[in-house]
Amino acid sequence: MRISDIKATTVTVPLEAPLRHSAGAHWGRFVRTIVQVYTDEGLVGLGEMGGGGESAEAAITGMKQYLLGHDPFQLEAMRWKIMNPTASLYNNRMQIHAALEFACLDIMGKATGHRVCDLLGGPLREEIPFASYLFYRYRDEQTGAGGEETAEQMVAHARDLVQKHGFKTHKLKGGVFPPEHDVAVLRALAEAFPEASVRLDPNAIWSVEEAIWVARQIADLKNDYLEDPTWGLEGMARVREKIPMPTATNTVVVNFEQLATCIRNKAVDVILLDTTFWGGLRQAYKAGLVCETFQWGIAVHSSGELGIQLATMLHLGAVLPNLRFAADAHYHHLTDDLIKGGKMAYHNGQISLPTAPGLGVELDEDKLAEYAELYKKLGSYQYDRDPKRPGWYAVQPCNEYAQLSD
């Protein structure tokens, strides 16, 4: 079997309401690039990568010169062809490789009649638990959803999600408002859902001192971990040294060199494994096994997925022996998906592992065309244009946290 063609299509799929992010961002839709890898035996594998537009499509199709005629079962050879781990371009090509690897794993599963999780050693669980992933949101005029800013509004939003999806873990995406506000919101969530665990992620917007202060204010809650409270391995190590709860990251440990440094220096407790950031499902799985060896915590990270990438997250979550935390997913914020049958369903806070061979999902070509046209109409979104936070990058110092690292 040989690869006969590669196709990349950029799409944009609306969210129920615009999500707000610490780095001045807000967006009401996701832009993704869907990858289809064709073989000379008629099988088609599916992949997905974040972002899109002409640059992403060109990057994917630019791989044709390396991969036309390549055996999709030869994944290690493909990794070297695309990423060349000894070269300086290694990190720049990780997400490109991830999307193509997803598609080749999909082909392998379809060719052998096995699920991708079976190719990685077999599933340890058939259902993967997820956290609620709560964002501060702007209100969407069309859907009527969103508008959450206060603790009361966020608790109401969480109650609605629990009723719909059964979440037992609540993750708050913080950093949009001052740290005191996030503390009040997280405490309100913990009080409203006393049996649930909670986690807070400001996307590394805080200083070390602010992060230490926040951790001490929420130390009595049922915390899974404090995720990326500050930036860099050095900053994360300083925070970890001074707070009474685990820390977690998806930003500063996304390859094996960083993982080795993290473990050697005891910089972060929990590694959040992303199937795209790590350069593929197999790379994330191997990282999980390294963490198992050193008894380091892991969880499955979300980078704004549609159904194809969600399937990779489910297969990863199914095979990791040391998975002890609910996974993250933006998925419930989407209004639609590109896979046949529509969006996957949550039951009791979990999503079932697909049962069909390969990744277990099929592309709805009509939806692909619809959301490709929507992307052509709307174009890419501007990432850092939150109208209420135009100066987000110029945070003013606060004396309240100045002595906390002593």
Report the relative pairing of strands 197-201 and 223-227 from DSSP bridges. Answer: parallel
Give the other-Cβ count within 10 Å of 169's Cβ: 21
Distance CA 353, CA 370 (A): 27
Report the relative pairing of strands 44-50 and 270-273 from DSSP bridges. Answer: unpaired
Distance CA 41, CA 45 (A): 12
The distance from CA 251 to its chain's CA centroid, rounded to whole angstroms, is 11
Residue 193 DSSP one-character state: -
Task: List, in sequence order, every residue forming a beta bridge with 7; answer none if it has no partner.
Answer: 36
Q: Does 301 qualify as catalytic in the annotation?
A: yes
Contact 316, 359 (CB under 8 A): no
CA distances from 332 to 135, 154, 215, 245, 304 (A): 12, 16, 28, 28, 10
What is the sign of the dihedral through the CA atoms of 40, 74, 37 and 5?
negative
Q: Of all helices (H) and strands (E), which one includes residue 172?
A: strand 169-173
Of these residues, 97, 110, 173, 333, which one is catalytic? 173
Q: Residue ranges of the alpha helices (H) in 86-201? A: 94-112, 116-119, 151-165, 179-192
Contact 46, 103 (CB under 8 A): yes
Distance CA 290, CA 105 (A): 22
Task: List, in sequence order, every residue forming a beta bridge with 29; answer none if it has no partner.
Answer: 14
Q: Which of 66, 61, 34, 38 is nearest to 49 (CA)?
A: 34
Hey, what amino acid is at 62?
A: G
For the chain, counts of helices (H) and of strands (E): 13, 12
The distance from CA 372 to its chain's CA centroid, rounded to whole angstroms, is 22
Of these residues, 21, 26, 97, 301, which one is catalytic? 301
Catalytic (active-site) positions:
173, 301
